[in-house]
Structure 1
Amino acid sequence: MVHTMKMKHTLFITIISIVGMLSNVFAQGNIQIGLPDAAIALFGKGGINTIHFSPDGTQLAVGTSIGVWIYNVQDRKEKSLYPGHHDEIHTLAFSPDGKYLAVYGFQNAIIQLWDMNSDLNEPILTFPEKPGRITKLVFGHDNNKLFGISELGFLAEWDIETGNRLSTQRYGKRGLVTAFNPKGQTLACGDPDNNEISLWDSANDSLGEVFKEKLNPNAGNTLSRILGGNQNNRKGPTGIETLALSPDSKTIASSHIGNIIKIWDVTTREERFSLKGHKEIISTFSFSPDSPILASGSTDNTIKIWDVSNGQPITTLTGHKNSIETLAFSPTEATLLASGSTDGTVRFWDTKTGKERSVFATGHTESIEAVAFNTTDTMISSVAANGTVQIWDIQTGKKLPSPSVPHYDSNSALVLSQDATLLAINGQDNNVRSRVSGLTMQTRSHRETRLLSLPTGDELKSFPHPSEYLALSPDNNILAAVNPREQVVQLWDINTGDKLFSFGIELSLHEKIIFSHDGQYLAIYGYNDQTQLWHVPTQEKIDIPNVKEISVIAFSPDNKTMAVEHPNVDGLRVIGLWKITQTGIEKHKEIIPEFRNGYTAKLLFSPDSKTLIQLHKSGWRSYIILWDIDTGVELDIVSGHIKNIQSIVFSHDGKTLASGSEDGTILLWDWEKIMMKIGKQ
């Protein structure tokens, strides 16, 4: 199984330091999760990056954005592995005898070895060095050695008894696409820049003869139309994106710009076939154990099965709702194919019949954008960027049935009500194509904004316009939407579907809207625009201080204060606290944070309005920073997610803080414990 560098998050994060890791353990069903200090629960398995069958076909390992899940193929029982800390797993490998599993964590840059015959509570070995940028791990055929391929152009070899490095050889320049078969020490390399495929010659420590493409008599005319000018000397599509080597090392499959697959003969080093069929880029390949069958997965949500002996398509597998990320054939059942998708599922297929056998595993959703508690704080719901809704029982940690809601490639706007009973979303289609000039992605927002009832998923209303940002009033009676087409903010009565009123705006890139906790006020703000504040019952605009470049606004739960992040007269980003009075808005005080690279993504008041929570993002890091509102003093910094935090909310009883992340997880934090730590209880 081989897959390309991903569209979704190719330049990944540096891991966030986890405070007091493993101080608590929470049982999520049969999953034991190590938690940061003050965290009481973790929900979610992380988005799927890679899947591998064990050599005997009885287990399936799934590498995700937070760790590894081991599934029993027969009964689907699962076990989670967390290599040291939570980590982004893009490559893993079983030893040929099935005894060991090697895992490489991207952020920690460590390789760990797990004994598959043990209880899998701890790795048996952590390699002493931290190899950088490993894209593939492969065991040697004798089970005693582990090979690692680095995107920096190095092939390393380790002794699995000690974890010590035995050798390092440079196979090529940085950024080559590779496929490796240790049986014959065959390393295939594809150059994304010049479209060349070659085999690395270990004896001469160099890349060998370049494979020969078939000449395309129509390529010149086609490229001339695309690029202009005479392109008759060009052979065909350039840019190698994905590479796979058959188990017998006799065949190479490569994907290229133009959504084209090429099949190569390793012995003759010549192209045999050029295959077309996918509408978007090919993201992953897998050869069947006996080599003649190739599966290709694409961002067009389909899997195609090809006979590489004659270059003919066999069937197309459909069922996934989002992009295909990874594929793996069973080593013991040639027609059993497993697929992992950004829709959060692992599916099993019969490649002979072209039918789906089962949705084998669920819950591997990533990019959580909204979270909310139900009114009794017994359940928590999340909504992912593609519209996937997940619901968990907080007491048992079990995932409840997910409602059937529309799936999208992404969204231009979504909002989850504070009681998790309503979801408003404007879906977006992404068309990812590879062309001569490089990778392109076209996005198209749907023309309607949908309002769905949860947990059933029933559609309640459809509002006839796209939305750039959405907000629901706390009583769930009003939907506010930024309509980019008409450059207005529209307020709709959810019960009747009637438009209540609207007002114009000067559209920039990041308009946001927020209701006060009592629903009396609606604020719209954008980094480059003048902020507007409206009194909803009277539909009157309220004068506010003349402050521009406001990036974040929050209302206090007692509806007496607005927190506003903006630059002061010296150009420093500060948090202004404005009092809401009967006569208008008055500046009260400023909190001047210590300078940090990045930006404030959200502000949130604590339930007692005494503490301000600042969600700060810097690169791929997120921090939850706590401020004393009376003194303006920084109290503490809380962190724990691997990727950026997208949403923070309090439970209705004010005792729990929830954070939802791009890594596909929700962390629940004991707010009282956090306050005790900083001496506020």
Structure 2
Amino acid sequence: MKKSVMMLMVFSLAMLSSSASIAQYVPSTQFGLPEGAIARFGRGYINEIMYSRDGTQLAVTTDIGVWIYATNTGEELILLAGEHSHFVFSADYSPDGKTIVTGSWDNTIRLWDVRTGKNRKTLKRHGYYGISSVAYSPDGKTIVSGGADSTIQLWNARTGKNTKILTETGKGVNSVKFSPDGETIASIDGKNSVGLWNARTGNNIITFNPHTEYIYSIAYSPDNKTIAIGGMETLALWDVATAPQPLKEINAHKDRVSSLAFSPDGKTIATGGWDSMLRIWDAATVQSIREINAHNGAVRSLVFSPDGKTLATGGGDGTMKWWDVHTGENKKTFTGYLGGNYIRYSPDKKTIAITAGGLVHLWDVSTGQYLRTLKGHRGNVSPVDFSPDSKILATGSADHTTRLWDINTGQTIRILEGHTDRVYGPVYSPDGRVLATRSRDDTLRLWDASTGKNIKTILRDNESMNFMFSPDSTTLAVGNSNGTVGLFDAQTGEKIKTLRGNTDYIYTVLYSPNGNKILTKSRDGTVVLWNAHTGKEIKTLNIRDKVIAAMYSPDETPLAISVNRKKFSLWDVTTTQLLKTFDGPKTRYLPKRYQTSSRHAVGWPPEQVRSVSYSPNGETIAAVRHNETVQLWNVGTGKHIGKPILPLKDDPPDGTTDVVYSPDGRTLATIQIDNMGSTVRLWNPTSGRHLKTLKGYDNCANALTFSPDSRTIFTVHRGGTVLLWDIPSR
């Protein structure tokens, strides 16, 4: 088993596996799936929580949609999702509980039938910008929305007609709320101003700037007389009639007050903060009644039940909790509201680990059941690695530590300390006896995996080093920024020898599958093949063309790919012979919008070929140009396969295209990435035929990973979910 620490493109590619026969997944993984998806891992980041007016249901708004629960049992009833094409930021129940309105960053407002989950109506008027907040009026006749276009808009809830547009002077509208009597609307804008508006006429009653640097939350008292405002650490109460003079202002939290609510009787106020605390206050005196360390992260949203006996909170730790207001007891916890950055599949194919900030979430692959969250790191977690027996997970973090976890209990087995800066992804040796960690502190450390003892600390120069264990786990090859490659005894950490041939930063260090050779690629443009046992140089490929990739073919032939002004070429490193030259596609193949670009010139000079990928089965090559088109070639014939793969019509001109082959080389994934998201498309590389477009709830994929059997693919989405997809027949 090969181990290599190399970042591929902008997303993590971990080796995954998935059973061909899909097991019976838990119901929550099947609600509201995008077309073509098999299962969902995670429910999305929590944005808002709300009760139906009669208290029988609770709805959790996440980036992907709205989850609805029965409050008497905690059962998940339905997911309202699949229509919005971007994050869902806000939602509200109609007074009769039959409809939910949602506002999304896709610039639409949608009305949903709560019983059937169907989208009844779509409202559009906010133009180019997203919608951040929506609410029903108490009588259910009007919907108010606030958007990034700096407007507050009123809608007829029955017809969907836009009845009024209120123009704000601020930088977007972050929140809108009806007063309990429906007479006024309160808003927060991007300039941290609070506006009060006449709900009937749309006239501005008053706009003022509270005495706080930022405003994060706002709520009306049940008697309409007071508004509570949450700022940076502060809670302020304002008399609606006499604003802008505050009645009371206190320091409520140690960080921003991200959420707040009055109890139904108006006697208490609940606040949630980024300091993870839930606090309950006497509304008359603003004295603290109770404080609860509610979440392992920010309290993102909170709401009282209509009877005032329960508080529901949503946290940045991926949980939603119900609390007894009078005792502070945690009555129930719901998990799975999680994000994802990196994916790793256990070698036994039973568990998937997904990192999210400083947490790691474990899921059962066969059922989609959330298992547990590994908590302990005080900084973001880098890519992780399972031990070969799948019993232990190693994690490195920005908190300078590496942790080893028992995946069955979620407990930390030991903490490896010694690095003085961020620890990048740890790597197990193939036999599981040694763990290697590299850090921004300019060191690479070897650890005894069973005892946690630091075997050796290897100093390096100022730039990152790439390293790889030999297949038999006896040796560690380390590429340095000065062009040398050090071979170290993996058990003792002692240096065996230094390979000197390249003269600059080593980008690639690869053992051949049989462990007999080492292939290195350097910034100096050379590719060197070494005898892994003797350390002697076998051959050096030194050509005028720019070498952009080095790899082994399926029969273990060391190869290199170079690019020049009009073509790219495939070389045999062992003989330094040119195997094949591939001509670039002509401009005439491209639609007009791709023949010119404000960012890149069109043509085929060196700067136009951004990346080239060689299929694992050695049959095809995919090249990406700077105008983001992808072209496929047959390695045997050197001929083009199909037409160039173009960015989608709606993809931004300044996006970036990357390509990933499935392990068997029979499927190619293209991913068009920009600041807002990306689209994944699957292709048959031998014919150029389009197989499937993978569109998640928000159409945004941070990462994608094929299973080792090449039959399924995982996509990680910014909305906080991981989706599993079948790959169509090729």
TM over 0.5: yes
Q: What SS class does the counterpart of residue 571 from structure 1 fall into?
A: helix
| Residue aligning to 1:169 | 166
- For 2:431 and 2:554, the matched residues in 1 are separated by 14
Give the superposition deviation at 1:105: 2.9
State how many pairs are aligned. 589
Aligned counterpart for 1:46 among listed residues 31, 44, 48: 44
Q: How does 1:264-283 map to 2 (within 5 A)?
A: 264-269=238-243, 270-283=245-258
1:279 is displaced (CA, Å) by 1.2
Q: Counterparts of 1:264 and 1:185 in 2: how far apart (Å)?
A: 17
Of residues 343, 348, 364, the one that matches 1:370 is 343
Aligned to 2:80: 81
- Shift in Å, 1:423: 2.4
Within-5 A mapping of 1:567-586: 570-576=606-612
Checking the alignment, whether the CA contact within 8 Å between 2:404 and 2:412 is kept in structure 1 is yes
Match of 1:322 in 2: 297
User: In the alignment, is residue 479 of structure 1 matched against residue 435 of structure 2?
Assistant: yes
Alignment-mate amino acid for residue 660 of structure 1:
V
Supply the distance in 1 between the matched residues of 2:24 and 2:562 (Cα, whole angstroms): 36
CA displacement at 1:287 relative to structure 2 = 1.6
1:111 paired residue number? 109
1:563-602 superposed matches below 5 A: 570-576=606-612, 591-593=623-625, 595-596=627-628, 597-599=654-656
**Would the aligned equivalents of 1:573 and 1:592 in 2 still touch at CA under 8 Å?**
yes
Task: Say if 1:179 and 1:244, in contact at 8 Å, map to a contact too.
Answer: no
Checking the alignment, whether the CA contact within 8 Å between 1:317 and 1:355 is kept in structure 2 is: no
Alignment of 1:401 onto 2:371 = yes
Q: Secondary structure at 1:401's aligned position in 2?
A: strand
Q: Secondary structure at the match of 2:374?
A: coil
1:67 is aligned with what amino acid?
A: G
| Percent identity between the two aligned chains | 25
Answer yes or no: is 1:127 the counterpart of 2:123.
yes
Rate the CA distance shift 1:87–1:203 in 2: closer, same or farther, 3 A: closer
- 2:449 aligns to what? 494
Specify the SS of the correspondent of 1:348: strand
- Contact 2:29–2:368 (CA<8 Å) still a contact in 1? no
The corresponding residue for 2:411 is 458
1:344 aligns with 2:318: yes
Q: Distance in 2 between matches of 1:451 and 1:62?
A: 34
Structure 2 Cα separation of the partners of residues 624 and 550 of structure 1: 28
The 3 A distance-change label for structure 1 pair 249 and 573 is farther
1:384 aligns with 2:343: no
Which deviations, in whole Å up to 9, do the C-alpha atoms of 1:350-389 show, x marking residues without a partner?
2332332221x211111342241552x4554433333132
1:285-364 alignment runs, 5 A limit: 285-332=260-307, 334-359=308-333, 361-364=334-337
2:96 partner SS: coil
**CA shift at 1:491, angstroms?**
3.4
Letter in 2 for 1:112: R
Change (3 A) 1:181 1:121: closer
Summarize the alignment of residues 179-218 of structure 1 with structure 2, pairs less than 5 Å apart: 179-182=176-179, 183-190=181-188, 193=191, 197-201=194-198, 206-209=203-206
Name the CA distance, whole Å, in 2 between partners of 1:567 and 1:28: 53
- Give a deviation string over 1:490-532, Cα, whole Å, max 9, x none: 3334234344555444446x87767788878767799x96525
Query: Residues of 2 paired with 1:468 and 1:616: CA distance?
Result: 29
Matched, 1:660 2:716: yes
**CA 1:637–1:123 in structure 2 vs 1: closer, same or farther (change >3 Å)?**
closer
Go from structure 1 to structure 2 and tell me whether the alpha carbon gap of 1:87 and 1:390 turns closer, same or farther (over 3 Å shift): farther
Residues 516 and 559 in structure 1, CA contact (< 8 A), matched pair in contact too: no
Give 1:450's aligned amino acid: R
Residues 328/36 of structure 1: CA separation in 2 closer, same or farther (3 Å cut): closer
Letter in 2 for 1:366: G
Aligned to 1:546: 523
Letter matched to residue 648 of structure 1:
L
Tell me the residue number matched to 2:590.
none
Distance across 1 between alignment mates of 2:395 and 2:548: 22
- Provide closer, same or farther for how the CA distance between residues 451 and 553 of structure 1 changes in structure 2, counting only shifts above 3 A: farther
Aligned to 2:501: none
Shift of residue 71 of structure 1? 0.4
One of 63, 66, 76 as aligned partner of 1:65? 63
The one-letter code sitting in structure 2 at the alignment partner of 1:308 is: A
The 1:362/1:111 distance shift into structure 2, 3 A limit, reads same
Checking the alignment, whether the CA contact within 8 Å between 2:137 and 2:182 is kept in structure 1 is no
Tell me, yes or no, if structure 1 residue 424 matches structure 2 residue 394: yes
Query: When the two structures are superposed, what TM-score results if normalisation uses the length of structure 1?
Result: 0.74
Instruction: Kindly name which structure, 1 or 2, has the bigger radius of gyration based on alpha carbons.
Output: 2
Work out the CA distance in 2 between the residues paired with 1:516 and 1:644: 37
CA distance in 2, matches of 1:30, 1:129: 33
Displacement after TM superposition at 1:410 (Å): 4.5
What's the CA shift string for 1:257-295, capped at 9, x where partnerless? 4x2221111122221111113111111111211223221
Instruction: Report the TM-score, using the length of structure 2 for normalisation.
Output: 0.70
